[in-house]
Amino acid sequence: MSAREDTLARIRKNRPAGDHPLPEVPLFPPLVGDDLMAEFGERLKRMGGRIATPVAGADPFAAVRERLDGATVIASAVPEIAGNRDLAEVARPQDLADVDVAIVRAVFGVAETGSVLFTQNELRVNAVAYLAQHLVVLLDPADILVNIQAAYRRPDFARAAYAVLHTGPSATADIEGVLIHGAQGVRSLTVILLPRA
Amino acid sequence: MSIEDQGLRETAPESDHGQDGRRLRHAEAATKPVAVKPSAAKAAREPQPRGAKIRGDRPIDQAEAAERFLAAPLHQKAHDARLWDLRGKRDVAAFGIPEWEELRELASQIKTHTLANLDRYLEEFEANAKANGVHVHWAADGADHNRIVHGILKDHGAKTLIKSKSMLTEECGFRHYMAGTGIEVIETDLGERIQQLDNEEPSHVVVPAVHKTRFDVAEVFARTMGTDPENDDAHYLAESQRMHTRPLILEADAGMTGCNFAIAETGTVVTCTNEGNADLSGNVPKLQIHSIGIEKLIPRIEHLGVFIRLLSRSALGSPITQYTSHFRGPRAGSEMHMVLVDNGRSERLGMEEFWTSLKCIRCGACMNTCPVYRRSGGLSYGATYSGPIGLIIDPTFNKRKYSTLPFSSTMNGSCTNVCPVKINIHEQIFAWRKVLAEEHQIPLLKQGMMKAAGQVLSRPAAYRAAIGAADSALKVLPRFAVYNPLNTWGKGREMPETPRQSFHSWYKQNRMGKTTSKTTDGEK
């Protein structure tokens, strides 16, 4: 018999006796207050991310303007800003190794954790969110969900080939508990609260 | 090329503090520095204690390795403080959620249900993964897994493989197997990479190099990557690894990850990581492989709303890992493989007293809270899985080799209390002792071993110093465990009932005000 048939047969022979129904998962009350923007920003900062709320009429990218001005290669996946590396023209993910700043829009944010969700549709090339040195994320305040439970009731996870929650930048503390951003992925993650155009 | 040439100094340690100026404690970060003072370390030049001596199938002498760990006070103290700090962070995170106990119960029930219907959920997962364009493989055991992955790599002419940390591939001995194939395997998790370069197994399921000081890491990196042996700054070391590994990531022919959760209804593999290396492994090379232990199945996406809330809080005290990644289908022009690995799991399912160990989500909370683990180091167990969960899983792989491990416990029950899926770990430890004794797997040296272990635990001075003045009930736990060791060794007695309340309140009710050092009747 094949490994598949062997394993399935052993499971059928060995399965624990008794009736073990799948429990209903209740909707838990959110752990956050009503001001989802503030709650989201506070959690994101605790996870090493940065938050910016643009002033109406001013440069929406003011918080990262210095970073953008200092960047040689900017890969933008959003209409709000033009980069100089067209993600539609990238043949191989490896070609994004020199990206200084990548700018993408999140599907939604999660107030409980300060997370943002991307799928392959927002990233265009998935690897850009990890190969870039810095990541700038646009998030519509109207797209902030209360908690993780609400996030997993969204249809995006069942539809996307790739979906990922980012909560702050790449981090490690594998050496003596010393926190370091940019272990392998992005060194910083800044969320700009900017309504969809 | 020296590191200085690469302009590393511009990466200032701004990661210490957040945008609001407050100290950051996310990921595996310690709440306060636990670093050994350079003067003390330099003066002592304490070499890293190595793990248990492996001699074929002969029983592991955990106590012997633990003795050597204890004889290295700089390592022992830092290790103990670091893991106790993670345990403290876990408590803060857990107590911050009113429904914590309800979540644990739900997680436990969802796992019970899934394991009781595992054949059905595996078939559902397989059908959905195939419909998503994924190649699905089944591996009977570790050797089978290694052959399958090797075959996939050979078929694609792959010469290098980048991978993220996976306890399953450790369990399969995948790296050792691949060493003879001419295909280079590159670990990309920092801790795991340190262990790979030092030719040592990971000592902890979440923080693989937690038993090493930064001086040890500096020595390993100087020897293997040519870094400055005198520079033991963690930022310098981590950045050096980034610069060293990045070209390998870009040039890799294939990428590989493990799996935290596999979703039956969608055929999705979920990984929970902090560094972003799993996403690099899954998104950069044209070929991606995900190795999945069959017990990782959960029925639906919505159940992640339970497990994701528990996992990182239990492991690190963070509300979530930096990256929670959901791999469902291949990218355009790339190929995706999933390998479902049994390796004894379907057999364990039939072990009446032990099958619930299959619920484990590998958070490491039981390790962080265990006084024996914290004082002896993960490598002293001589097995893939160490600490309390290791004591009850390892004997299922090799009864003789791991026959002594279930005796490396004070039976304080703390592991059971912190387990996010409510595995009755300490009861299973006790049950294994009975099984192994009845089957005469406990060799003649049992008595001597237990005596040695007793000696280890009866030396509380270092321990007391490490935890300082214990002013909270939670901090008292290891004192109790240490003051109370000998009576827990080898005496048959009533085991505590499965707690229905938190350890905190249990402790208050049962222990506060009693003179723990004079307690002679064990836990109950």
Tens-digit pLDDT profile for residues B75-91: 999 999 999 999 999 99
Reported confidence tier of residue A96, pLDDT bands at 50, 70, 90: very high
Question: How far apart (Å, rounded) are the C-alpha atoms in residues A144 and A86?
Answer: 28
Structure tokens at B215: 């001086």
Query: Does residue B270 belong to the interface with chain A, where contact is any CB pair within 8 Å?
Result: no
* Substitution target from B87, B111, B165, B279 for chain A, most A beta carbons within 10 A: B279
Question: How far apart (Å, rounded) are the C-alpha atoms in residues A96 and B253?
Answer: 17
Cβ atoms of A190 and A50 within 8 Å: the answer is yes
Query: Does residue B304 belong to the interface with chain A, where contact is any CB pair within 8 Å?
Result: yes
Q: Which of A48-52, B15-19, B30-34 has the highest mean pLDDT?
A: A48-52
What pLDDT sits at residue B488? 33
Give Cα separations from B472 to B476, B478, B479 (angstroms): 7, 12, 11
Residue B102 with chain A: CB contacts under 8 Å:
26, 28
What pLDDT sits at residue B117? 98
Average pLDDT over residues A109-121: 98
Reported confidence tier of residue B469, pLDDT bands at 50, 70, 90: very low
What pLDDT sits at residue A85? 95
Q: Nearest chain A Cα to B329, which residue?
A: A161
Question: How far apart (Å, rounded) are the C-alpha atoms in residues B403 and B408?
Answer: 11
Q: Which of B78, B214, B301 is facing A157, going by the closest CB pair?
A: B301
Q: Backbone dihedral region of B157: left (phi > 0), alpha (psi from -120 to 50 degrees) or beta?
A: left
Check whether residue B86 and residue B117 sit in a common domain: no
Check whether residue B294 and residue B146 sit in a common domain: yes
What pLDDT sits at residue B489? 29
Cβ atoms of B126 and B344 within 8 Å: the answer is no
Cβ atoms of B105 and B413 within 8 Å: the answer is no
* % of chain B at pLDDT higher than 70: 80
Reported confidence tier of residue B168, pLDDT bands at 50, 70, 90: very high
Query: Does residue B138 belong to the interface with chain A, where contact is any CB pair within 8 Å?
Result: yes
Reported confidence tier of residue B32, pLDDT bands at 50, 70, 90: confident
What pLDDT sits at residue B464? 41
ipTM given for this complex: 0.98
Question: How far apart (Å, rounded) are the C-alpha atoms in residues B314 and B363?
Answer: 6
pLDDT at B524 over 70: no
Question: How many folded domains does chain B comprise?
Answer: 2
> Where does B33-128 show beta strands of DSSP type E?
none
pLDDT at B347 over 90: yes
Cβ atoms of B343 and B356 within 8 Å: the answer is no
What pLDDT sits at residue B453? 47
Query: Which has more confidence, B203 or B32?
Result: B203
Residue B340 with chain A: CB contacts under 8 Å:
7
**CATH number of the domain encompassing residue B192:** 3.40.50.10420
Check whether residue B157 and residue B80 sit in a common domain: no
Q: How many CA atoms lie within 13 A of A25 on its CB side?
A: 21
Give Cα separations from B334 to A147, B262, B386 (angstroms): 33, 21, 37
Check whether residue B161 and residue B85 sit in a common domain: no
Min Cα separation A3/chain B (Å): 5
Structure tokens at A67: 């970073």
Give the number of beta-carbon pairs within 8 Å between A and B: 301
Query: Does residue B347 belong to the interface with chain A, where contact is any CB pair within 8 Å?
Result: yes
Check whether residue B222 and residue B236 sit in a common domain: yes
Q: Among A128, A112, A111, which Cα is nearest to A164's?
A: A128
* % of chain A at pLDDT higher than 70: 99
Check whether residue B372 and residue B260 sit in a common domain: no
Query: Does residue B266 belong to the interface with chain A, where contact is any CB pair within 8 Å?
Result: yes
Average pLDDT over residues B31-41: 72
Return the H-helix or E-strand segment holding A145.
strand A144-145
> If you write DSSP's letter for every residue of B33-48 in order, what string do you get?
--PPPHHHHHHH--PP
Write out the residue range of the structural domain in which residue B278 sits.
100-343
What phi, psi does B519 have (nearest 5°)?
Answer: -65, 130
Query: Does residue B20 belong to the interface with chain A, where contact is any CB pair within 8 Å?
Result: yes
Question: How far apart (Å, rounded) are the C-alpha atoms in residues A101 and A123?
Answer: 13
Contact across the interface for A15 and B117, Cβ inside 8 Å = yes
Q: Which of B277, B312, B343 is the last residue of a domain?
A: B343
pLDDT at B366 over 70: yes
- We find that the CATH architecture of domain A32-193 is 3-Layer(aba) Sandwich (3.40)
Query: Which has more confidence, B303 or B465?
Result: B303
Edge-to-edge strand ranges of the sheet holding A108-110: A144-145, A108-110, A115-119, A162-166, B323-327, B268-273, B261-263, B297-298
pLDDT at A191 over 90: yes
Cβ atoms of A108 and A116 within 8 Å: the answer is yes
Query: Which has more confidence, B42 or B368?
Result: B368
pLDDT at B179 over 60: yes
Contact across the interface for B284 and A131, Cβ inside 8 Å = yes
Residues in chain B, total: 524
Check whether residue B370 and residue B462 sit in a common domain: yes
Reported confidence tier of residue B15, pLDDT bands at 50, 70, 90: confident
Question: How far apart (Å, rounded) are the C-alpha atoms in residues B175 and B194?
Answer: 14
In a domain, B256, yes or no: yes
- The average confidence (pLDDT) of chain B is 86
* % of chain B at pLDDT higher than 90: 75
Structure tokens at B499: 């707690």
Residue B189 with chain A: CB contacts under 8 Å:
174
Contact across the interface for A177 and B342, Cβ inside 8 Å = no
Question: How far apart (Å, rounded) are the C-alpha atoms in residues A166 and A123?
Answer: 12
Min Cα separation B421/chain A (Å): 14
pLDDT at B3 over 50: no
Decide: helix, strand or coil at residue B499: coil
What pLDDT sits at residue B503? 59
By the 10 Å C-beta count (0-12 exposed, 13-18 middle, 19+ buried), B24 is classed as buried
Reported confidence tier of residue B218, pLDDT bands at 50, 70, 90: very high
Q: Which of A25, A157, A183 is facing B242, going by the closest CB pair?
A: A183
Check whether residue B300 and residue B246 sit in a common domain: yes
Structure tokens at B185: 């395997």
Average pLDDT over residues A3-25: 97
Tens-digit pLDDT profile for residues B405-445: 999 999 999 999 999 999 999 999 999 999 998 887 766 54
Contact across the interface for B347 and A14, Cβ inside 8 Å = yes
What pLDDT sits at residue A129? 98
Q: Which of B122, B242, B342 is facing A184, going by the closest CB pair?
A: B242
Reported confidence tier of residue B44, pLDDT bands at 50, 70, 90: low
Min Cα separation A7/chain B (Å): 6
- The average confidence (pLDDT) of chain A is 96
Decide: helix, strand or coil at residue A51: strand
Residue with tokens 């339970």: B306
Min Cα separation B237/chain A (Å): 9
Min Cα separation A195/chain B (Å): 22
> If you write DSSP's letter for every residue of B227-268 in order, what string do you get?
--TT---HHHHHHHHHHHHHHHHHH-SEEEE--SEEETTTTE
Decide: helix, strand or coil at residue A20: coil
Check whether residue B181 and residue B254 sit in a common domain: yes
Check whether residue B219 and residue B315 sit in a common domain: yes
Question: How far apart (Å, rounded) are the C-alpha atoms in residues B350 and B363?
Answer: 24
Check whether residue B453 and residue B324 sit in a common domain: no
Query: Does residue A31 belong to the interface with chain B, where contact is any CB pair within 8 Å?
Result: yes
Average pLDDT over residues A161-176: 97
Q: How many CA atoms lie within 13 A of A117 on its CB side?
A: 22
What pLDDT sits at residue B31? 86
Reported confidence tier of residue A185, pLDDT bands at 50, 70, 90: very high
What pLDDT sits at residue B502? 58
Q: Whole-prediction pTM value?
A: 0.88
Cβ atoms of A46 and B24 within 8 Å: the answer is yes
What pLDDT sits at residue B57? 93
Average pLDDT over residues A115-141: 98
What pLDDT sits at residue B458? 55
Check whether residue B303 and residue B452 sit in a common domain: no
Average pLDDT over residues B312-321: 97
Reported confidence tier of residue B16, pLDDT bands at 50, 70, 90: confident
pLDDT at A164 over 60: yes
Reported confidence tier of residue B251, pLDDT bands at 50, 70, 90: very high
pLDDT at B518 over 60: no
Contact across the interface for B19 and A51, Cβ inside 8 Å = yes
Residue A106 with chain B: CB contacts under 8 Å:
none
Cβ atoms of B443 and B100 within 8 Å: the answer is no
Cβ atoms of B126 and B326 within 8 Å: the answer is no
